[in-house]
Structure 1
Amino acid sequence: MTKKDITPELEYKTLTKLFFLFGVGIMSWIPRFPDIKAQLGLTNGQFGSIISMGSVGGFISLLTVGHIVHKLGTYKVLIASTCALYLGFILLINTTSSLVFLPIIIAVGFSISAFHISVNSQAFDCQTRISDPIIVKLHGLWTLGAVSTGLISGLLIGRISARTQLDVIFSLVLLLSIHYINKLRPVSLLPQPEDDHYSIKQVFTSLRFDRLIAGGMICAIFLEISMGDWSNIFGREYLGITGGLITLPYILFMSAMIAGRFQISRIINWMPLNRSANIGAAIGGIFFLLGVVVSIAFGETHKYWAFGVFSFGCFVAGLGTSFITPSFFNAATARSALPSAVVIGQIGLINNFLIFCGKWVIAWTAEFTSLAVALLIPGLLVLSIPLFSKALLSGSAQSQP
């Protein structure tokens, strides 16, 4: 297949499959965190800390991969990062040693960021040829993949081992991803060695800390990260829920995010994007905090009732915040004169540092107080989003959220 045979619409359809598989792949092990934590023999604080080390790999990747993409093009980086990512995951879930786990999680974090930069660079390039806000929709496909794997895990927990399930998923996602990356090869971004935008020195000298973008994105995305890291452990260890039911809050949260991201065009037709974000953040943050507070107050005496309220709070929070993170992502490119891949790298550098610090705060708050108290932190961050939503008024951020 040649470049002229691949229309922008066909390129977009192929990207949807890659984003879906990316969601399935990197989120498939999260519902199995309680099993992996037990397999490693770690406490909440220790497990949260070692998981956060993936951000170190991501930070290194964000310093270097933009330059590599520019020199080699997206195709080679997509292939290399895909292979490294899923082979690394297979090693991760088959080890019982935290000393072995640590360097592998750093390598996996590097590979996730490498794939993220290259596939989003390709998506932004595709968006220039399609008059539709495809970035938010592609993020919705990623979320759909994450929910799909959560549903699978919910059905399989207690029936087959985490190792067996994840070995199969990672192997399938690896093969399918390579297939679709090869389909994109004729239209993949080409190497541009003559352009020095992507040197490591340039990353630092051109780095701009956009307070509104950085603050808004971390407040929005940290709830999603905390749900992935801790919701299943919260259900099992804090509320005493057993079996596949522990995945319900995460599945409801991510399902609501899918619904919100696919309805983004309707949302921005109803009201300005920044106002939508303010309302969504307020409602989502309040309901999430309500679910956590009810769990604290009634978890010991009425655990299933508390679990139900927490699950509903997660659903509302997912719906309210669904479109906010990708909207800030687009606003960042609208507010910068730099190429989109440079902006992606700079956002990633700042976010990775903030996420790394936040994960340590959550982990050790859970260790020294309780996981329920720790989960109040992302809820409060969501309520802070209106402080930064002015950034969403940026031109193309509204037309292409």
Structure 2
Amino acid sequence: MATGAALGTWTARIPAIKRDLELDDGQMTVALFAIAVGSVLAMQFVGHLADRFGSARVLGPGGLVMAAGLLLPGYAGSLPVLVGGLVLFGAGHGVVDVAMNAHSMQVQRHYSRPIVITFHALFSIGGLLGSGAGAVAAQLDVPVPVHFTLAAVALAVLVEASRRRLLPAEPQEAAEQNRGRGISPAILLLGVLAFSCSLGEGSMADWSPLYLHDELRTSPAVAAIGYAVFSTMMAVCRFLGDRLVARFGPVALVRTCGLIAGIGMGAGLLAHHPVAAIVGFALFGIGLSCIIPQVFSAAGTRDPARAGRDLAQVSTLGYGGLLAGPVLIGVITHWTDLTTALTIPAALALVVALAAPVVRPRP
């Protein structure tokens, strides 16, 4: 939840930071890219640390770096300082992202039942809380430094309180030997699935409002509904996901979710009507909701001794999709139109459905 709240806090105040620093769109793009750079760089080493020392020992410091990294953008007086702060913030987020997914695998083994999707649901709830609080702060015209300071303190307290309840490192996690340095074909395929789903999620964030407004000629208020419905359905369905995994198994769930996402989105685009499009975005959110958690679960349980590194590799490819999605949609839109471009996330969801057997647990 802390990770989602941190990202939601930052996102809600982007317009204020852009205004205060008098940045143009190009400069703001550089700043936004800095978060991804920090995250991807951190993911290259955090997996080894989590495997060697235990995910619990990595989570605490990573969470504090993430909280501290939120302070610097709030007090930044220039673009270079903002970029540096966001690299640090992204690095903290990358560390926590990998370590918390590795730790969730350990917790799930103790529970002896699926619980990973619920953790991802809490991430979504944290994002809603962070962005909601940020919207209130923006409405009340709370200065960004004051807002980010309060948020950073609250996050640090939450991280410290959570750290005390984490499980100790398991024997194979602490005594892990340096084996299997490369990426296995199975982990690569899981990374492709993560890339495909993240590409769809990134595309929805940036292009669903424009599709409704520019292509279907809706009002700005209606255009905002598309991504809101997508995000809400994703969060709600994640609270149901673990029960579905327990009952039907991960392969059946991922296959069904991929079909719902691909067919629902595709049908909504073909109808070329605002109501159909919003329903299609909702179905796309329902479909994507449980896939990424199952992809991470499969990566983290293939070999508990190197769960951190496998998760880091899959997470890196997932971030690639999140970054590439909006760009790819934009490029294709120049060649054709936005309706055609948005069929790509729908098609990739169908590919995920076909590749669902890769998430089957190893015997």
Q: Shared topology, TM-score over 0.5?
A: yes
CA distance in structure 2 between the aligned counterparts of 1:109 and 1:28, rounded to whole angstroms: 13
Question: Could you say if the C-alpha distance between residues 121 and 189 of structure 1 is closer, same or farther in structure 2, counting changes exceeding 3 Å?
Answer: farther
Q: Partner of 2:262 in structure 1? A: 282
Q: What one-letter code is carried by the residue in structure 1 that aligns with 2:289?
A: S
CA contact (8 A) 1:328 1:397 kept: no
Write out aligned runs for 1:19-30 (5 A).
20-30=1-11
Once the two structures are aligned, what percentage of the paired residues are identical? 19
Q: Does 1:183 align with 2:173?
A: no
CA distance in structure 2 between the aligned counterparts of 1:166 and 1:379, rounded to whole angstroms: 38
Q: Does 1:52 align with 2:30?
A: no
Q: Partner of 2:354 in structure 1? A: 390
CA distance in structure 2 between the aligned counterparts of 1:374 and 1:43, rounded to whole angstroms: 25
Within the candidate set 48, 51, 62, 1:81 is matched to 62
Within the candidate set 151, 155, 168, 1:173 is matched to 155
Question: How far apart are 1:235 and its partner, in Å?
Answer: 9.8
Question: How far apart are 1:209 and its partner, in Å?
Answer: 6.8
**Secondary structure of the structure 2 residue equivalent to 1:183:** coil
CA distance in structure 2 between the aligned counterparts of 1:250 and 1:84, rounded to whole angstroms: 30
Within the candidate set 303, 306, 309, 1:339 is matched to 306
Q: What one-letter code is carried by the residue in structure 2 that aligns with 1:169?
A: A
CA distance in structure 1 between the aligned counterparts of 2:254 and 2:290, rounded to whole angstroms: 11
Within the candidate set 34, 37, 45, 2:18 is matched to 37
Question: How far apart are 1:117 and its partner, in Å?
Answer: 1.8
Q: Partner of 1:106 in structure 2? A: 87
Within the candidate set 101, 115, 119, 2:100 is matched to 119
CA distance in structure 1 between the aligned counterparts of 2:58 and 2:188, rounded to whole angstroms: 30
Question: Could you say if the C-alpha distance between residues 258 and 376 of structure 1 is closer, same or farther in structure 2, counting changes exceeding 3 Å?
Answer: farther
CA contact (8 A) 2:40 2:319 kept: yes
Question: How far apart are 1:263 and its partner, in Å?
Answer: 1.6
Question: Could you say if the C-alpha distance between residues 191 and 21 of structure 1 is closer, same or farther in structure 2, counting changes exceeding 3 Å?
Answer: same
Q: Does 1:256 align with 2:222?
A: no
Q: CA RMSD in A?
A: 4.0
Question: How far apart are 1:100 and its partner, in Å?
Answer: 1.5
CA contact (8 A) 1:154 1:246 kept: no
Q: What one-letter code is carried by the residue in structure 2 that aligns with 1:118?
A: A
CA distance in structure 2 between the aligned counterparts of 1:190 and 1:337, rounded to whole angstroms: 10
Question: Could you say if the C-alpha distance between residues 70 and 325 of structure 1 is closer, same or farther in structure 2, counting changes exceeding 3 Å?
Answer: closer
Write out aligned runs for 1:240-251 (5 A).
241=220, 249-251=226-228
**Secondary structure of the structure 1 residue equivalent to 2:191:** helix
Question: How far apart are 1:275 and its partner, in Å?
Answer: 3.5
CA distance in structure 2 between the aligned counterparts of 1:43 and 1:172, rounded to whole angstroms: 31
Aligned length: 357
Question: How far apart are 1:80 and its partner, in Å?
Answer: 1.4
Deviation sequence 1:290-330 (CA, Å, 0-9, x none): 79x76xxxxxxxxxxx6x88766543432232112112223
Q: Partner of 1:132 in structure 2? A: 113
CA contact (8 A) 2:8 2:134 kept: no
Q: Which runs of 5 or more residues in structure 1 are unaligned?
A: 1-19, 295-305
Q: Partner of 1:97 in structure 2? A: 78
Within the candidate set 192, 201, 226, 1:224 is matched to 201
Question: Could you say if the C-alpha distance between residues 69 and 365 of structure 1 is closer, same or farther in structure 2, counting changes exceeding 3 Å?
Answer: same
Deviation sequence 1:205-240 (CA, Å, 0-9, x none): 345475542332222122333455677899999988
Write out aligned runs for 1:322-401 (5 A).
322-333=289-300, 339-358=306-325, 361=328, 365=331, 377=341, 380-394=344-358, 396-397=360-361
Question: How far apart are 1:159 and its partner, in Å?
Answer: 2.3
Q: Partner of 2:53 in structure 1? A: 72
Q: What one-letter code is carried by the residue in structure 1 that aligns with 2:253?
A: L
Q: Partner of 2:284 in structure 1? A: 317
Question: Could you say if the C-alpha distance between residues 141 and 117 of structure 1 is closer, same or farther in structure 2, counting changes exceeding 3 Å?
Answer: same
Residues 270-279 or 228-237, more deviating: 228-237
Q: Give TM-score, length-normalised by structure 1.
A: 0.72
Question: Could you say if the C-alpha distance between residues 127 and 187 of structure 1 is closer, same or farther in structure 2, counting changes exceeding 3 Å?
Answer: same
CA distance in structure 1 between the aligned counterparts of 2:85 and 2:25, rounded to whole angstroms: 20
Q: Partner of 1:302 in structure 2? A: none
